[in-house]
Amino acid sequence: MATLTASIPMAPTEVFASFKKLVVAYDFSPHADIALDYALDLATKQNSEIILVHVQSPDDDAVPAGEEAEAAHKLIPDLSERLEQKAARCRKLGADTRWLRRAGSTAKGLAMAVADLQPDVLFLGAYGNNRLDRKVLGSTAESFLRTLPCPVVTIGPKAAKKKFDPNQPEKVICPIDFPEDVHERLRIISGLARALGADVELVHAVDVCHEFSLPHNATDTQFEFDLLVEWFQREGVEAQSTLLYGAPERVISERAQAVNAHYIMFGLHENGNFSSYSRKSLVAKVIKYAPCPIFTFAQAARRTRFVDGGRGQR
């Protein structure tokens, strides 16, 4: 994989509070635990509140009769007790944490919780306890990427909680294809970078096998990238840009692995259906292969609480 990189060194900058309320979709699965770990990282940096939301479908309330019922009662602790234990663990780690339970389908229950709580970010495991979710991206996660009115952090099947050097800045990988609202998206990316104290790496994947690929325009693309890097410099965020060559879902994931990225950050089209790239379902494909969580957000006009790193709208 060939790369072409332009970087601008900068001094560390102040981190602005941006994310005050974090919701974690929690179903006691391993991917939900990873999602909670990432939420805890952000909460301890931002002094944020974490709300664990467990959605219990009607089928979960079905209890076998007779001896089976007694055995199930002994083996399975009360959900409220288990949620409280998890919340207590988070409090010991310094994060103000509470929990709530909702009934109904997972998608509907979480959608209602998000509407009521109005979180700044939802953390969601794409592959939860529902085996049907594992055939593709995960029906719940894919639906939420398209429809929720808040940013979503999605934990894919290959994402794992990593140990990072506290003396090194975090890194956010941001695929960009220069949409019309690119500068609005840059302000959102800047807000996340400030909240995390992270460096930004803008990447553009040139798929030489794709019919819309323009590899001969790489020089022009790098020039545009340099202008975006300069914008981040003026905002006080350290940034660099990298051109990648190959299938986007593969090279973006490989780049995230190579630089030990904390997040891959995607902006979605205004209709929320696909990534800002022209290729359909790129975000879903990257979620399957990425070694880190995917942070997605829809059109910038709907994001007001974390644009410009918490400094308010311009």
* Domain range summary for the chain, segments of one domain joined by +: 3-12+161-308, 21-60+77-155
Angle between helices 139-147 and 282-289 in degrees, nearest 10: 130
Question: pLDDT value at position 304?
Answer: 43
Beta strand 170-175 with 198-206 is parallel
Please determine, for residue 210, whether its predicted confidence score (pLDDT) is greater than 70.
no
pLDDT digits (tens, 9 = 90+) for 12-41: 444 344 789 999 999 898 889 999 999 998
SS3 assignment, position 40 = helix
Q: Which residues are paired to 172 by β-bridges?
A: 200, 263
Please determine, for residue 251, whether its predicted confidence score (pLDDT) is greater than 80.
yes
Q: Cite the beta strand spans of 33-77 per DSSP E.
A: 49-56
SS3 assignment, position 202 = strand
Q: Which residues of 8-38 are buried (b: 16+ CB within 10 A; e: fewer)?
A: eeeeeeebbebbbbbbbbbbebebbbbbbbb
- Residue by residue, DSSP assigns 258-273 as HTT-SEEEEEBPTTSS
Beta strand 198-206 with 3-8 is unpaired
pTM of the model: 0.79
User: Residue 279 is encoded by which pair of tokens?
Assistant: 């290729």
- Residue by residue, DSSP assigns 295-306 as EEE--GGG--SS
Domain 3-12+161-308 matches domain 21-60+77-155 at the CATH topology level:
yes
Q: Which CATH architecture has domain 3-12+161-308?
A: 3-Layer(aba) Sandwich (3.40)
Q: Which amino acid is at 293?
A: P
Question: pLDDT value at position 265?
Answer: 93
pLDDT digits (tens, 9 = 90+) for 65-108: 444 444 444 444 588 999 999 999 999 999 999 999 998 888 78
Q: What CATH class has 21-60+77-155?
A: alpha beta
| Spacing of C-alpha 155 from chain mean position | 7
| Spacing of C-alpha 251 from chain mean position | 18
Mean pLDDT of 41-69: 73
The pLDDT mean for the chain works out to: 76
> Do residues 194 and 18 make contact, with C-beta atoms less than 8 angstroms apart?
yes
Instruction: Write the CB contacts of 75 (distance below 8 Å, at least 6 apart in sequence).
Output: none
Nearest of 265, 291, 286 to residue 164 by alpha carbon: 291
Question: pLDDT value at position 107?
Answer: 79
Segment holding 196, helix H or strand E: helix 182-196
